[in-house]
Amino acid sequence: MEPTTIREGYLVKKGTVLNTWKVVWVVLADDAIEFYKKKTDNSPKGMIPLKGATLASPCQDFTKRTLVFKVSAAKKQDHFFQATHLEERELWVKDVKRAITCLQGGKKFARKSTRRSIRLPENVNLSELYVLMKDQDTGVKELKLEKDKRLFNHCFTGNTVIDWLISEGKARNRTEGLMLASGLLNEGFLQPAGDVSKDGAEKGAECVFLDQTEALYYFADSGFFCEGYSSDEDVIMKEEFRGAIVKQGCLLKQGHRRKNWKVRKFILRDDPAYIHYYDPTKGENDPLGSIHLRGSVVTAVEYVPDAKKLEADGNFFEIITSDETHYYLQAATADERKDWIKAIQSVAKSGK
């Protein structure tokens, strides 16, 4: 019987020989993980048998990389994968864990119910805790705070997080709250904003989170941005980064000059309406480019001019900006293309 494909998509993978991080197309079957150099390749670049394998998430082997999970094969070879955002990593981790469990028990793969419990179990699930923290009505409130002549948007203080954990019964005291908050920070759910919280995160102590009013943090997938002088890059942060994140993920993008196709991470923001794209192997500090979406048109297309046949095929869509610049993108599936088109159209109409 042919293996059943459970999940597929782009992930960043650490090489086993050269130790470089590269984007690969990953296919999770019920008995193995296969990874390909390109989505269109017929033969995989490598394969990880899931029989006897283990999974670790979060993986904290790399201090400068978040959202990493590790799959260790039965032969004790470790494979490191990095997702582009939190939701993506959680979906991969859940399915890989379930596939391993089903394989060990001799059962057919089946996803568990995704219904969330309001009350956390005794063994705290940080993913569920993060969802509760982000609740607009009962969670931690995102504020606009001024520190050191800089204005931090969509952030909150360290002591506010600890106060919330105690008030909601997630922690019995501030020491326990610090342990939980440090776990959220280590796993990438929370991010440090400003020099005080960044210094605390880099010290490597048991509790890297700071229970202080001077320490600022933000949700990893929020619309955080900073206005004013930046001690990191000595630049004025651009207005285009202020919008809340609407959608993010990997797409293939055609280059304007060479017309070749490369995998890029895209982050769609509204108010103002921008979509930024990044090299997924290098993080989100320096976008490769941005597209101002106000007044733009986005449509599905079946043909792309100058597209090399073997590099990309199907699920194309086109963004035409108000100044008539054309961008050609490719989604992994027809449903993903539909979702991206719908999200971009909404932002283009409502954003400024």
Listed in order, the ranges of the chain carrying CATH 1.10.10.10 are: 126-227
Structure confidence at residue 312 (pLDDT):
61
CA pair distance 23, 53, nearest whole angstrom: 22
CA pair distance 144, 153, nearest whole angstrom: 4
Identify whether the C-beta of residue 90 lies closer than 8 Å to the C-beta of residue 111.
no
CA pair distance 298, 325, nearest whole angstrom: 12
CA pair distance 66, 86, nearest whole angstrom: 9
pLDDT tens-digit profile of 147-174? Answer: 777 788 889 999 999 999 999 999 999 9
Structure confidence at residue 87 (pLDDT):
83
Structure confidence at residue 238 (pLDDT):
61
Lowest mean pLDDT across 6-15, 182-191, 232-241: 232-241
Structure confidence at residue 345 (pLDDT):
94
Lowest mean pLDDT across 177-181, 206-210, 279-283, 335-339: 206-210
Token representation of residue 347: 């932002």
pTM for this entry: 0.69
Phi then psi for 319, rounded to 5 degrees?
Answer: -110, 125
CA pair distance 336, 249, nearest whole angstrom: 10
Question: How crowded is the C-beta side of 171, counted as CA atoms within 13 Å?
Answer: 19
Report DSSP state, residue 296. -
pLDDT tens-digit profile of 126-154? Answer: 888 998 999 989 999 998 888 777 788 88
What's 126-227's CATH class?
A: mainly alpha
Crossing angle of helices 126-133/174-186, nearest 10°?
A: 100
Position 185 pLDDT exceeds 90: no
Q: Which of 264, 198, 276, 265 is nearest to 237 (CA)?
A: 276
pLDDT tens-digit profile of 336-345? Answer: 999 999 999 9
- Higher local confidence (pLDDT), 64 or 320: 320
Write 189-192 long-range contacts (CB < 8 A, 24+): 189/86, 189/126, 189/127, 189/130, 189/219, 189/220, 190/161, 190/217, 190/218, 190/219, 190/220, 191/217, 191/218, 191/219, 191/220, 191/224, 192/216, 192/217
Q: Distance between terminal CA atoms of the chain?
A: 53
> Residue 119 burial by CB count (10 A; 0-12/13-18/19+): exposed, middle or buried?
exposed
Identify whether the C-beta of residue 48 lies closer than 8 Å to the C-beta of residue 72.
no
Listed in order, the ranges of the chain carrying CATH 2.30.29.30 are: 7-105, 240-350
Sign of torsion over alpha carbons 48, 49, 55, 61: negative
Structure confidence at residue 234 (pLDDT):
35
For domain 240-350, give its CATH number from 1.10.3720.10, 2.30.29.30, 3.40.710.10, 3.30.1360.200. Answer: 2.30.29.30
**CATH code of the domain occupying 7-105:** 2.30.29.30
CA pair distance 352, 346, nearest whole angstrom: 12
Identify whether the C-beta of residue 248 lies closer than 8 Å to the C-beta of residue 85.
yes
